[in-house]
Structure 1
Amino acid sequence: MDTILSLLDSMLQYTAPILIAAIGGFYSEKSGVVNIALDGFVIFGSFIASFIAVSAFDGSPTMTQLILCLLIATLCGGLMSLIHAFISINLKADQVISGTAINLITPAIALFLVNHFNGTYELLLANGFPRYTIVGKFTVYPTVMVAILLVIITYYIIYKRPFGLRLRSVGENPQASDSLGLNVFKYRYIGVFISGCLAGLAGAIIATTFSQGFNAAITVYGFGYLALAALIFGKYNPITITLASLFFGGTKVFAEKVSILAPDLPIPVSFWNMFPFVATIIALIVFSKKTSTPEALGVPYDKGMR
């Protein structure tokens, strides 16, 4: 029983940042902007939260200071996403190339800054958010509750509020939305900005919970891609995105625990570490054609073509 609770505990700790970043991608792509850059924003959020915790609070932040780190990383993720928004919306450049470029540049910049200010390629925290007991030995980070709350809020906003209807409309038919007086650029900017904020928050959560610090090559790299896969696998619906995030969180746990639970297997740990991404490829191959994406997803809006 203790083993099962431990596995569930680990699955939820990985699921939370994947789910939050996936919900972020949901806002962007519902508005019609492809956001491949989720991984870059996650890495950036992790770097910002760790950098502030180490430089301002000597690596031992209090609970209030940890929350402040999350808020600043969230805002920084949103501000960085405006680069992608400008390139994709105003310049009408290829959104996939823009996102890929951000994913390649961000870890390089983060590691350069870490090495410049810290003399190493990592930022370590002495403490992060504590775990809270739910039942018996089953404990979770408070950030799991944040992820659940975000799903509920997102569902309500997107499907029950006028803002959500407008955001979806500019992603489905921007020409019709414009003819009704909606500012397509404005809503797409908002979608991308929210996306960057939540991806930055996801990265900050990784840094302040189980990884307790930043190392782009080890602790945080790849979570944004898993979030993007969860978004597609979840068919652009907050509820099924949650289930998809649980699945990918489970693959992370499997990769982490299999070498411990079955030490006699003559397979290196590095092989198991690639399992979540193999599962991602398989899931996308199987489900990508069955996913109902927004009609105008990835298509730059040009008023002259109305």
Structure 2
Amino acid sequence: MTERAGELPGWARSALIAAFLVLVLSITVTLTGQGQLTSSGTSEAAVRLGLPILLAALGGLWAERAGIINIGLEGMMVLGTWGAAWAGYQWGPWAAVLGGLVLGALGGLVHAIATVTFNVNHIVSGVAVTLLGTGLTQYLATLLFTPVSQNPRQSPRLEGFAEYSIPGLSSGLQALEAQQRVFVSDLAGLLSGLVTGLTPIVVLGFALVPFSYFVLWKTPFGLRLRSCGESPVAAESLGVNVIAHKYVAVVVSGGLAGLGGAALVLNPGQLGYLENQVGGRGYIGLAAMIFGNWRPAGLLIGSALFGYVDGLQLRAGGEAVHALLYGATLVAVVVAVLWAIRRMYVAAGVALAAGLAVYAIYWSTETVPSEFASYAPQLVTLIVLAAASQRLRPPARLGVEYRRGEGH
């Protein structure tokens, strides 16, 4: 997509948004004393918890850019968790990565056969894949894990990847964080979590973001694949094998979702299969992709946001989530001012009213219930989708049935 004259490129807008959010967090830490908001521990947890969501979002990107709605990401992730646990128990962590990838890709293949070959409604097929994946993994876990773990809902503990940190950079950022300087130490704490406690699957997952951008936007194959989601009839008239490209996109989508399941299994705090451990992350990944407007950089920001909120509530609980309400108030006020400058007075009024309501909750309470804190990632999902709904631009033929030769 070409930038309009006078408009900042996408990467510059993303950098400005990130800097603004760090500033908001820094102000919130200063005024509330909740240092966990920008601690390296919270950032490290956010990376690990956001990685499965990121991989699911990338899977959704591949499928939906080719015109196939993939609401079955949840089921493909579930298949990936079992495949990773089974292979990882037999042959180690790299086999777990491959096992999750293969099982997720098989789920994607089922979805492709239903939607591309037989033109089944994409939503119906996605729900069916999720139900199939959930039921199949429960059966397979009972069959194969009970003899070795005595618990059909859980695999034995697996061998994980060794963790490492980037020498010099990690320790330097941690030293800067310890100095407790406003904004500087907050930024250092957040960055420290990105270079500390890394594993190969974390590096692989984040490397797939620029790789997906390069393949989908900078190669002839990517152009053909995206044309299948924008105008498959026109693509076919130019000699593109639309069916083949849709199949490839959905199978890759399933493989990436399965890799997200493997990331859950290989999380150093888990290291094993556990029934229901996906916990809706496939749907949150789909929401992150939509929030990112079907673009790699945008879905990376969305995944980071959801992972951050999840990591914060797990590490610090209700008090830190309560402090986050103050930061949300600041964001709402700034957004209201920006919309007022653009003469979007109704939207500005709604944003301001929402900010005042959130601040009233913050002012009238000292913490939030643990039940609310644990639901915070899902609540953030709803809020950001509502806020982003006006600027979304999905592929033109997303979810529309396609038959070879139609339109000629």
Q: TM-score, normalised by structure 1?
A: 0.90
Q: Does 1:174 align with 2:275?
A: no
RMSD of the alignment, in Å?
Answer: 2.1
SS in 2 for 1:113: helix
What is the distance in 2 between the residues matched to 1:76 and 1:109? 11
The structure 2 residue matched to 1:257, chosen from 286, 310, 315, is 315
Aligned to 1:73: 100
Aligned to 1:122: 154
Return the offset for 1:266: 6.8
SS in 1 for 2:165: strand
Aligned to 2:325: none
Aligned to 1:232: 290
What is the distance in 1 between the residues matched to 2:126 and 2:403? 20
Q: Does 1:276 align with 2:381?
A: no
> 1:213-232 maps to which residues of 2 (within 5 A)?
213-217=272-276, 219-232=277-290
Asked if the contact 1:12/1:140 (under 8 Å) is kept, the reply is no
Which segment drifts farther, 39-48 or 132-141? 132-141
> 1:1-306 maps to which residues of 2 (within 5 A)?
4-54=39-89, 56-57=90-91, 65-119=92-146, 120=151, 121-134=153-166, 135-136=170-171, 138-210=196-268, 211-217=270-276, 219-259=277-317, 265=367, 267-268=369-370, 270-306=371-407
What is the distance in 2 between the residues matched to 1:107 and 1:117? 16
Asked if the contact 1:129/1:209 (under 8 Å) is kept, the reply is no
Q: Which amino acid aligns with 1:94?
A: N
Deviations 1:156-179 (A, max 9, x none): 111111001000111100010111
Structure 1 gaps, min length 5: 58-64
Aligned to 1:62: none
- Cα distance change on mapping 1:67 and 1:261 into 2, 3 Å: farther
Return the offset for 1:16: 1.7
Return the offset for 1:237: 0.8
What is the distance in 1 between the residues matched to 2:285 and 2:73? 8
Determine what percentage of the aligned residue pairs are the same residue: 31
Return the offset for 1:88: 0.6
Aligned positions, number: 296
Moved over 4 A (4+): 260-266
Aligned to 2:344: none
What is the distance in 1 between the residues matched to 2:145 and 2:203? 33
- Cα distance change on mapping 1:148 and 1:126 into 2, 3 Å: closer
Deviations 1:2-59 (A, max 9, x none): 97010110011112221122111111000000000111111111111112223x25xx
What is the distance in 2 between the residues matched to 1:40 and 1:111? 12
Asked if the contact 1:74/1:200 (under 8 Å) is kept, the reply is yes
Which segment drifts farther, 113-122 or 24-33? 113-122
Return the offset for 1:133: 1.8
SS in 2 for 1:47: helix
What is the distance in 2 between the residues matched to 1:287 and 1:260? 26
Deviations 1:51-83 (A, max 9, x none): 2223x25xxxxxxx3112211221221122111
- Cα distance change on mapping 1:265 and 1:289 into 2, 3 Å: closer
Return the offset for 1:148: 2.1
Asked if the contact 1:19/1:242 (under 8 Å) is kept, the reply is yes
What is the distance in 1 between the residues matched to 2:201 and 2:319? 27
Deviations 1:145-201 (A, max 9, x none): 112211111111111110010001111000101111111111000100110111111
Asked if the contact 2:115/2:125 (under 8 Å) is kept, the reply is yes
Higher relative contact order (CA 8 A, sep 6+): 1
Deviations 1:224-244 (A, max 9, x none): 111101100001111111111
Q: Which amino acid aligns with 2:240?
A: L
Q: Which amino acid aligns with 1:267?
A: P
- Which structure: larger Rg? 2
Return the offset for 1:289: 3.9
